[in-house]
């Protein structure tokens, strides 16, 4: 695992966008597994600007890491809407190669199998970009997630439901989600984990310096041979 500390959020976002653009130039038909949330917004903004300057995403395949269970793709808090508004709708991505789990699928388990099969059909993941939850989750693989897990329905940690509550009318995010599993993330040929801000510092410390444990799912990335933690200075105060 490599640790790269950047001076601030802008530098972190630029480094992440550069990594995605470099992969695209090397392999235009590359497969990406990518997150939502606050952290990657700067990266998406930069990639959209690169697109305006000529970078094409047309041949690439994109998979999102997760989606809330029970949310229609048109729900304003759905990750479908987030991705359309912040990335997919602003670049020349091929709609047939853009994938977000369907949280409203009639048979969620079948949807998970379909999603996993689609990733395989696209040749596996070339570059996986991750955020990190305050409890160390990656995707929605919460503490305790099995290293062998695949795309599946999970129950969200109470802390996650509280942290993400602001997107919803009630006082909590939904109870469950579909997430790509730990094993699937691990099979990515390259992993980039992004962390920004002082409220991630303890989590980054646990993931980087603590033992490899399913209590901190991000710590398991230390066993992956091509993983970089891209962290801004505020999130790296204790490492």
Residues in contact with ligand F6R by CB under 6 A are 35-39, 65-66, 131-133, 137-139
64, 66, 99, 102: the catalytic one is 66
64, 80, 102, 135: the catalytic one is 135
Give yes or no for a contact between 181 and 141, defined as CB atoms under 8 angstroms apart: yes
The alpha helices in 133-200, defined as continuous H runs, are 158-163, 182-186
Q: What distance in Å separates the CA atoms of residue 67 and residue 153, rounded to the nearest whole number?
A: 10
CB of 41 to ligand F6R, least distance (A): 8
Question: 3-class SS at 129?
Answer: strand
135 is catalytic: yes
CB of 16 to ligand F6R, least distance (A): 12
Toward ligand F6R, which CB reaches closer, 38 or 56?
A: 38
Task: For residue 78, count other CB atoms closer than 10 A to its CB.
Answer: 22
137 is catalytic: yes
Toward ligand F6R, which CB reaches closer, 59 or 213?
A: 213
- What's the Rg (C-alpha) of the chain? 16
Toward ligand F6R, which CB reaches closer, 61 or 154?
A: 154
CB of 68 to ligand F6R, least distance (A): 10
- According to DSSP, the β-strands at 61-64 and 31-34 are parallel
Among positive and negative, which fits the CA dihedral 155, 159, 162, 164? Answer: negative
CB of 130 to ligand F6R, least distance (A): 6
142 is catalytic: yes
**Active centre residues (catalytic):** 66, 135, 137, 142
């Amino acid at each position: 695992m490599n640790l790269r500390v950047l001076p601030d959020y802008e530098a972190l976002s630029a480094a992440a966008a550069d990594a995605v653009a470099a992969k695209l130039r090397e392999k235009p038909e590359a497969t990406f597994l990518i997150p939502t949330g606050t952290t990657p917004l700067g990266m998406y903004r930069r990639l959209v600007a690169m697109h305006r300057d000529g970078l094409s995403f047309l041949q690439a395949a994109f998979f999102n890491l997760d989606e809330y269970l029970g949310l229609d793709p048109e729900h304003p808090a759905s990750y479908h809407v987030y991705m359309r508004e912040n990335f997919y709708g602003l670049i020349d991505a091929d709609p047939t190669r853009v994938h977000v789990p369907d949280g409203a699928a009639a048979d969620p388990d079948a949807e998970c199998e379909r999603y996993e099969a689609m990733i395989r059909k696209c040749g596996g993941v070339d570059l996986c970009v991750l955020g990190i939850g305050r409890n160390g989750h990656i995707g929605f693989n919460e503490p305790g997630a099995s290293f062998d897990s695949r795309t599946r329905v999970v129950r969200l940690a109470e802390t996650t439901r509280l942290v993400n509550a602001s997107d919803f009318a009630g006082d909590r995010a939904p109870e469950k989600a579909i997430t790509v599993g730990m094993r699937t993330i691990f099979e990515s040929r390259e992993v980039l984990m992004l962390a920004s801000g002082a409220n991630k510092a303890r989590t980054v410390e646990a993931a980087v310096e603590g033992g490899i444990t399913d209590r901190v799912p991000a710590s398991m990335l230390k066993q992956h041979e091509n993983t970089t933690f891209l962290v801004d200075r505020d999130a790296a105060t204790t490492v």
